Amino acid sequence: MAATSRSLRSRRSCMAVPGSNPRFIEKAQGLPVDQVFLDLEDACAPLAKEGARHTIVDALNNGDWGDRIRVVRVNDWTTHWTYRDVVTVVEGAGANLDAIMLPKVQDAGQVKALDLLLTQIEKTVGLEVGRIGIEAQIENARGLVNVDEIAAASPRVETIIFGPADFMASINMKSLVVGEQPPGYDTGDAYHYILMRILMAARANDLQAIDGPYLQIKDVEGFRRVAGRSAALGFDGKWVLHPGQIDAANELYQPTQADYDHAEMILDAYDWCTSAEGGMKGAAMLGDEMIDEASRKMALVISAKGRAAGMRRTRKFEPPKG
């Protein structure tokens, strides 16, 4: 699958579900999220990891996931769990899995190692080679410094994900409240550089940029405030840890209805004005608004996000009379 077709899928809300908890796994199948990831890493206790691999295989093969993107987060390469996580899950349920999430990625070699392992398993068990994607979590200073090469490390990479909790620990940020501004930092946004760095690497490689968790699960206003920042920059979605966060994520990471309608109108107006019927004009007009190639590109982005999220337009383009 080409990078562009991978990146067209909507990932507004990415639900984290502990792989060791069959009740939560069952419940996630009824939630209105774009993606579910079944976790073998930090939401899964060391002694529960082996059993969780099999719980996950069973859930992927027998669960009803609808059109949700199905992802499994394995343990990172500095542990001894990674290869068995990947082998057990992909051999057991590779046909029913969209991507592997690799946490704490530090350099391109770690992505390439996962790519090679996936390719061997796909060939061995007869799966389409290259279909399973990779989601790379940036969770420490080394990962961020190397994010460009990580994003370009394999055609399987679909998303670059900010992992704020581990990242805050990695850089010694003076706060325990994930995603919120550290006390004493009273100017700007302490996460701006990290978010922008990830976004640039993602966009330069046609990947999606995903924001990580907000741990105060009952504080939906706090979630909205923090999510609103990365959504405004252009991020494609955010993790959700609790059903109460889902509606906010789905709303914030898709265009507003007005913007979506406007984008579709711009595209129609541009097509019409540049057609023979519209006189093949270079500069198009939508009412009093002038549309050029750059505004068309902006409209294409909004329209693609809206369409991927299943939005429907509420305005119809009428060619100007006379």
**In the 8-state DSSP scheme, what is residue 255?**
-
Q: Which residues bind Mg ion (CB under 5 A)?
A: 139, 163, 166
Task: Give min distance, CB of 1 to ligand GLV, in A.
Answer: 25
**Which residues define the annotated binding site for Mg(2+)?**
139, 166
Q: Which does 164 bind (CB under 5 to 8 A by kind): ligand GLV, Mg ion, none?
A: ligand GLV
Task: Kindly tell me the sign of the dihedral angle through the C-alpha atoms of 74, 79, 81, 84.
Answer: positive
**Which residues define the annotated binding site?**
73, 139, 166
DSSP alpha helices (H): ranges in the chain?
3-7, 22-28, 49-62, 82-93, 108-125, 141-145, 147-151, 164-170, 192-204, 220-233, 246-252, 257-274, 293-308
Nearer to ligand GLV, 94 or 179 (CB): 179
What tokens were used for 116? 């090679």
Burial class (CB in 10 A: 0-12, 13-18, 19+), 107: middle
Q: Which does 245 bind (CB under 5 to 8 A by kind): Mg ion, ligand GLV, none?
A: none
Three-state DSSP state, 80: coil
Q: Which residues bind ligand GLV (CB under 6 A)?
A: 103, 137, 139, 163-166, 212-213
Is the CB of residue 198 less than 8 Å from the CB of residue 138? yes
What tokens were used for 138? 């940036």
Task: Give min distance, CB of 186 to ligand GLV, in A.
Answer: 24
Which residue's C-beta sits nearest to Mg ion?
A: 166
Nearer to Mg ion, 178 or 266 (CB): 178
- Residue 30: CB atoms within 10 Å: 10
Task: Give min distance, CB of 213 to ligand GLV, in A.
Answer: 5
Nearer to ligand GLV, 143 or 163 (CB): 163
Task: Give min distance, CB of 203 to Mg ion, in A.
Answer: 23
Task: Give min distance, CB of 249 to ligand GLV, in A.
Answer: 15
Nearer to ligand GLV, 145 or 169 (CB): 169
